[in-house]
Chain A
Amino acid sequence: MFERRTFSYKVSCKVSWIAVAAVAGLAAVVPAKAEDSVKVGLILPMTGGQASTGKQIENAIKLYMQQKGDTVAGKKVEIILKDDGAVPDKTKTAAQELIVNDKVNFIAGFGVTPAALAAAPLATQAKIPEVVMAAGTSIITERSPYIVRTSFTLAQSSTIIGDWAVKNGIKKVATLTSDYAPGNDALNFFKQNFTAGGGEVVEEVKTPLANPDFAPFLQRMKDAKPDAIFVFVPAGQGGNFMKQYAERGLDKAGIKVIGPGDVTDDDLLNNMGDAVLGTVTAHLYSAAHPSQMNKDFVAAYKKAFGNRPGFMAVSGYDGIHLIYEALKKTGGDTNGDKLIEAMKGQKWESPRGPISIDPETRDIVQNIYIRKVEKVDGELYNVEFATFEAVKDLGKTKK
């Protein structure tokens, strides 16, 4: 019974691969014919631990399409949402179905790095753009010439906070990072810039991804007596970390928290309690960004969905904007190569500030802000106080 199943599964896989190849072949030979609609296959984690990422991106895209209408360059934009639960196998299946059955013109979303990587070969074969709206490991855009990213890379924020820390009187740092690819990216890029500037890493702890209790790790940090702790934990664990940080009295011992902004994600920040006050992070977006455009964006998002947008929401908002702009530039032509060409070098004003797509790497170039958690009108916000302009991804393979 089991053997038979595997067999038919293999066959169906093979069939779908042939179909992918055929679609790809056709797309290359036959010029794209005028269709009435453009389909965007959105693959997001809507269930599971990463679901808040998926929710935010989906909301932001809905908001954008309400504001800007659902037609661009004479074509109706249609979004097909698939849930992958942040499991790469499911991402791959979803991408296959979208490409083969639904014949989408874009695949987009991708909550975590492994998901974005799983879809990369499919984007290459089908020659359609893959717009990464969340995953943050540097290598992603190198895996296919059809990948464009509108979120961020961990190298961007981690190198910047390393530079900032050294220049602002933080000499000794203990690090606490989750033991998986983004955590290691954050740690390595931080260390590289921090030690180059003369800082010293006195203690280095990697916590398991499914970590029940930070207490022993935090006690170790406390006993190492650093000036600050550099922290990267996946979004959902930030709250637990900050609570235990305060419980253990590290704030009173004068040990600051610094890191890339994931730990103080706007989505969860307000529930973390006053212990987070004074945490300094480097990140691409804060809901408190003072531009008029952002104020309008936050107000509209709050009105539509009842909570504050976080950096994932703004990445989704910019992702769909990029798709719209690319279609405008090609005049509605959905040829993948032309769309990618049209996306390269795009520049626009986003709620997070001025951003652009690097024509070389297809990765995002954006301002990185240094922010401090403060209380504004009784709510906790990341308030920006310094800006590093037009930061490229520094984590690309050295050429």
Chain B
Amino acid sequence: MTAILTNLFDGVAYGMLLFVLACGLAVTLGLMNFVNLAHGAFAMAGGYVCMVLVNRMGWPFFAALPLAFVSAAAIGIALERTLYRHLYTRSHLDQVLFTIGLTFMSVAAVDYIQGSSRVFINLPAALQGQFDVFGVGIGRYRLMIIVICGLLTIGLQMVLAKTRFGSRLRAAVDDPRAASGLGINVPQVFAFTFAFGCGLAGLGGALSAEILGLDPYFPLKFMIYFLIVVTVGGSSSITGPFLASLLLGIGDVAGKYYVPKMGPFVIYTMMIVILIWRPNGLFGRTAAR
């Protein structure tokens, strides 16, 4: 029984982490209809910024996290203004080629500057280890991930559903022409959303160094996971990717625990089954736009 709960806890933490990493991609791919395979590069940037601040300059971990977000968002907005926006109207193939090239460049750049070996972020002692709650092992770090990511998710949902910006964004996505006709500055809304998605990825990158490992190949290694989250979750809302992340996180952990020989395949099997059942993802919109 306790084993089930421990696995559930680990799975939720892993899923939450996947969500923060991938939800920016859900926004660009789903809402803006732009295939951004370089998404992981922003996550990596955030991770490395956090590492440099904490390990080399002695910042406290919690102070470095917001900066990981800000720096990834800043890189995101710079690239969006200079490069990405020229590709919004191009074909998906062009977008794929462009962003995969960007990914390779980021890998080479980080490899050159920071070296290819894996880096770790020095954590405060308060985040290390595990404590027991009625025999269920709760990892402190994973608990922190669940808290941070849970708050973020609630915040995001509120912003999208309740605020003026949220309704502008949804309008811009549903019908960009009508939205701009109504006086919504669509490119500005997209740029802001893009930057925010990159910032979330950066935060996710900083949080994931401890669990997934951070090295220059991060964007390539985890690209597939981000894509799975988005395809399985569907891209019409952020609830879809959120539930998909949790499902995949729990499925992956449980699969590796209970059937270790099959472990790595569980996540893919789940994806195939779900996509056969619902080709547009769990929460995909059925009507084409």
A246: which B residues are within 8 A, CB to CB? 128-129
| Partner-contacting stretch, out of A144-152, A208-216, A290-298 | A208-216
Once A217-B256, A246-B128 are accepted as A-B contacts, the answer to whether A267 and B139 lie under 8 Å apart by CB is no
Once A213-B212, A216-B257 are accepted as A-B contacts, the answer to whether A247 and B139 lie under 8 Å apart by CB is yes
- Does residue A360 face the partner (Cβ distance < 8 Å to B)? no
A243: which B residues are within 8 A, CB to CB? 120, 210
Once A215-B10, A219-B257, A243-B120 are accepted as A-B contacts, the answer to whether A248 and B130 lie under 8 Å apart by CB is yes
Encode contact with A along B112-145: 1 for CB under 8 Å, 0 otherwise.
0001111010000000111000000101010000
A49: which B residues are within 8 A, CB to CB? 116, 215, 217
B211: which A residues are within 8 A, CB to CB? 212-213, 215, 244
Instruction: Compute how far the CA of A211 lies from the CA of B6 in the bound complex, rounded to whole angstroms.
Output: 20
B221: which A residues are within 8 A, CB to CB? 210, 212
B257: which A residues are within 8 A, CB to CB? 216-217, 219-220
Once A219-B3, A223-B3 are accepted as A-B contacts, the answer to whether A268 and B254 lie under 8 Å apart by CB is no
CB distance from A307 to the nearest CB of B (A): 11
Once A48-B116, A239-B120, A248-B130 are accepted as A-B contacts, the answer to whether A216 and B215 lie under 8 Å apart by CB is no
In the complex, the answer to whether B116 meets A51 with C-beta atoms within 8 Å is yes
- Does residue A240 face the partner (Cβ distance < 8 Å to B)? yes
In the complex, the answer to whether B210 meets A268 with C-beta atoms within 8 Å is no
- Interface of B, secondary structure class, is helix
CB distance from A298 to the nearest CB of B (A): 19
- Does residue A249 face the partner (Cβ distance < 8 Å to B)? yes
In the complex, the answer to whether A271 meets B10 with C-beta atoms within 8 Å is no
Q: Which of A44-71 contact B (CB under 8 A)?
A: 47-49, 51-52
Q: Name the residue in A52, A205, A212 with the highest tally of chain B Cβ atoms < 10 Å from its Cβ.
A: A212
Instruction: Compute how far the CA of A196 lies from the CA of B254 in the bound complex, rounded to whole angstroms.
Output: 34
Q: Which of B14, B111, B128, B225 contacts A215 (CB 8 A)?
A: B14
- Does residue A278 face the partner (Cβ distance < 8 Å to B)? no
B contacts with A, residue count (CB < 8 A): 36
Instruction: Compute how far the CA of A247 lies from the CA of B141 in the bound complex, rounded to whole angstroms.
Output: 8
A contacts with B, residue count (CB < 8 A): 33
- Does residue B260 face the partner (Cβ distance < 8 Å to A)? yes
In the complex, the answer to whether B117 meets A205 with C-beta atoms within 8 Å is no
In the complex, the answer to whether B253 meets A215 with C-beta atoms within 8 Å is yes
A267: which B residues are within 8 A, CB to CB? 117
Encode contact with B along A211-253: 1 for CB under 8 Å, 0 otherwise.
1110111011001000000000000110110011011110000
Instruction: Compute how far the CA of A323 lies from the CA of B217 in the bound complex, rounded to whole angstroms.
Output: 35
In the complex, the answer to whether B260 meets A219 with C-beta atoms within 8 Å is no
A248: which B residues are within 8 A, CB to CB? 130, 137, 139
Q: Which of A216, A219, A247 contacts B263 (CB 8 A)?
A: A216
- Does residue A206 face the partner (Cβ distance < 8 Å to B)? yes
Query: Which residue of the partner chain A has the closest CB to B265?
Result: A208
CB distance from A192 to the nearest CB of B (A): 21
In the complex, the answer to whether A240 meets B213 with C-beta atoms within 8 Å is yes
A239: which B residues are within 8 A, CB to CB? 118, 120, 213
In the complex, the answer to whether B212 meets A216 with C-beta atoms within 8 Å is no
Instruction: Compute how far the CA of A52 lies from the CA of B119 in the bound complex, rounded to whole angstroms.
Output: 13
In the complex, the answer to whether A47 meets B120 with C-beta atoms within 8 Å is no
In the complex, the answer to whether B128 meets A247 with C-beta atoms within 8 Å is yes
- Does residue B98 face the partner (Cβ distance < 8 Å to A)? no
A213: which B residues are within 8 A, CB to CB? 14, 211-212, 252-253
B260: which A residues are within 8 A, CB to CB? 205-206, 216-217, 220
Instruction: Compute how far the CA of A76 lies from the CA of B247 in the bound complex, rounded to whole angstroms.
Output: 63
A240: which B residues are within 8 A, CB to CB? 118, 213
A47: which B residues are within 8 A, CB to CB? 111, 116
In the complex, the answer to whether A206 meets B253 with C-beta atoms within 8 Å is no
Q: Which of B206-264 contact A (CB under 8 A)?
A: 210-213, 215, 217, 221-222, 225, 252-257, 260-261, 263-264
Once A213-B211, A248-B139 are accepted as A-B contacts, the answer to whether A208 and B118 lie under 8 Å apart by CB is no
In the complex, the answer to whether B129 meets A236 with C-beta atoms within 8 Å is no
CB distance from A205 to the nearest CB of B (A): 5
A51: which B residues are within 8 A, CB to CB? 111, 115-117
CB distance from B210 to the nearest CB of A (A): 7
Once A216-B257, A219-B3, A247-B129 are accepted as A-B contacts, the answer to whether A52 and B137 lie under 8 Å apart by CB is no
- Does residue B103 face the partner (Cβ distance < 8 Å to A)? no
In the complex, the answer to whether A52 meets B117 with C-beta atoms within 8 Å is yes
In the complex, the answer to whether A216 meets B253 with C-beta atoms within 8 Å is yes
Please give the residue numbers on chain B whose beta carbons come within 8 Å of chain A beta carbons, in ascending order.
Answer: 3, 6-7, 10, 14, 111, 115-118, 120, 128-130, 137, 139, 141, 210-213, 215, 217, 221-222, 225, 252-257, 260-261, 263-264
Known: A239-B118, A246-B128, A249-B137. 16 other contacts (CB 8 A): A49-B215, A52-B116, A211-B264, A212-B211, A213-B212, A216-B257, A216-B260, A219-B3, A219-B6, A223-B3, A240-B213, A243-B120, A243-B210, A247-B129, A248-B130, A249-B129
Please give the residue numbers on chain A whose beta carbons come within 8 Å of chain B beta carbons, in ascending order.
Answer: 47-49, 51-52, 205-208, 210-213, 215-217, 219-220, 223, 236-237, 239-240, 243-244, 246-249, 267-268, 271, 273
- 10 contacts across the A-B interface (CB closer than 8 A): A48-B217, A51-B115, A216-B252, A217-B260, A236-B213, A239-B120, A243-B210, A247-B141, A249-B137, A267-B117
CB-based closest 3 A-B pairs: A216-B256, A51-B116, A216-B257
